[in-house]
Amino acid sequence: MALPKKKLQGLVAATLTPMTENGEINFSVIGRYVDYLVKDQGVKNIFVNGTTGEGLSLSVSERRQVAAEWVAQGKNKLDQVVIHVGALSLKESQELARHAAEIGADGIAVIAPFFFKSQNKDALISFLKEVAAAAPALPFYYYHIPALTGVKIRAEELLDGIQDKIPTFQGLKFTDTDLLDFGQCVDQNHQRQFALLFGVDEQLLSALIMGASGAVGSTYNYLGKKTNQMLEAFEKKDFTTALNYQFCIQRFINYVIKLGFGVSQTKAIMTLVSGIPMGPPRLPLQKATQEFTANAEAKLKSLDFLGPKKGT
Ligand SMILES: CC(=O)N[C@H](C=O)[C@@H](O)[C@H](O)[C@H](O)CO
Ligand SMILES: CC(=O)C(=O)O
């Protein structure tokens, strides 16, 4: 059985994987990155090797090294480090799950395999169960991201009875705009035993109203502080203030989405805001253009999102 660790809640930053200009992983800045998240953004949980971390573009050996470095650097600083261990190969996914347990991670998450796709809930659960079983002491999260995996099995359907099959199941990371599906996950979770983490940053307030227990996202790397202010206003039931924060965050995200927004652009923005070099993404992604970065910077300034810059 998974240890009944403190439930994962609040903001979880989906970390970027810093790279050097020639495409190798830049382990040397991860310590600084941890400090930046904790001190400048007030974010104490991370989700490593997911979409934002280009986990599926890294080799298994790189994924192990990246995970180990985040756990080591986050020791006594971060609350929880969740490692995404999803892969197309069950064997690789199990190897990564075992490794996450060995290094002392706080949880593992898995996406649905997206080349050969599970045709129904039972098939998908069979796969997830085998991965979870490789790390029987670690909380297990299902990472629902249908737009990228193409696996459209509804989360509320998957959740129904899942703990009978996967005893370590602890929750979901829900990256979809279907608030009916998300709401029905919350509705099923009466005893609040699962962490239901929302993954569409620009719509987080709506998910909080529905009962989200926290959020995992790429923008919490650099908008963590702003988003935490929204969470505080929500906690105090000051919905007008919370909505103002959400609109402000939306203005930025809406602007960059129109320019073309993804992991490459997130790397450029994070480099700009934190002063920590994130480097280029790995192919097939391509580096953000200078024009994008200049426009994003102007927008951040006009929204007053650029705090005092750290020395590089
Ligand atoms: C598809 C994707 O990467 N989604 C991220 C997390 O799941 C989000 O954090 C988005 O990057 C964010 O909501 C901006 O659209
Ligand atoms: C956003 C997110 O959770 C991920 O990068 O996987």
Rounded to an integer, the average pLDDT of 28-47 is 98
Among 2-6, 244-248, 252-256, the range scoring the smallest mean pLDDT is 2-6
Length of the chain: 312
Side chain identity, residue 165: K
The whole-number pLDDT of residue 312 equals 44
Residue corresponding to tokens 């998974």:
2
Instruction: At 252, list the tokens.
Output: 């930025």
Residue-wise pLDDT tens digits, 67-94: 999 999 999 999 999 999 999 999 999 9
Architecture of domain 10-242+272-278: Alpha-Beta Barrel (3.20)
Sign of torsion, CA 191 143 138 82? negative
Residue 26 has pLDDT above 50, yes or no: yes
Residue 51 Cβ contacting ligand 2 at under 6 Å: yes
Query: 265 CB less than 6 Å from ligand 1?
Result: no
Q: Which atom of ligand 1 is nearest to the CA of 201?
A: 13
Band (pLDDT 50/70/90 cuts) for residue 308 is low
CA distance 131 to 94: 5
CA–CA gap between residue 38 and residue 53 (Å, rounded): 18
69 CA to centre of own chain? 17
Ligand 2 test: best mutation among 8, 45, 111, 173, most atoms within 8 Å of CB? 173
pLDDT at residue 7 tops 70:
yes
24, pLDDT greater than 50: yes
Q: Establish whether residue 218 lines the binding site of ligand 2, counting it when its CB lies within 6 angstroms of any ligand atom.
A: yes
Mean of pLDDT values over 132-152: 97
Alpha-carbon distance 299 to 309, whole Å? 16
pLDDT band at 311 (very low <50, low <70, confident <90, very high): very low
pLDDT at 191 over 90: no
Ligand 1 contact via 49 beta carbon (within 6 Å): no
Mean pLDDT of 262-290: 98
First to last CA, the chain: 44
> How many angstroms separate the alpha carbon of residue 298 from the centre of ligand 1?
21
What's the ipTM?
A: 0.95
Among the bound ligands, name the one nearest to the CA of residue 54: 2
Predicted local confidence at residue 237, as pLDDT: 98
Ligand number nearest CA of 50 is 2
Least distant ligand from the CA of 47? 2
- Could you tell me the distance, in angstroms and rounded to a whole number, from the CA of residue 198 to the centre of ligand 1? 10
Average pLDDT over residues 185-208: 95
Q: Where are the domains of the chain?
A: 10-242+272-278
Which positions are annotated as active-site residues? 143, 173
Q: Taking Cα atoms as reference points, which of 251, 250, 280 lies closest to residue 265? A: 280
Residue 1 CA to ligand 1 center (angstroms) comes to: 31
- Rounded mean pLDDT of the chain? 96
Quote the ligand 2 centre to 217 CA distance (angstroms): 5
Residues near 150 by beta carbon (within 8 Å), at least 6 away in sequence: 114, 117
Report the half-sphere exposure of 286 (CA within 13 A, side-chain side): 4
Per-residue pLDDT at 309? 56
| Alpha-carbon separation of residue 14 from 44, 190, 218, 298 (angstroms) | 11, 27, 5, 24
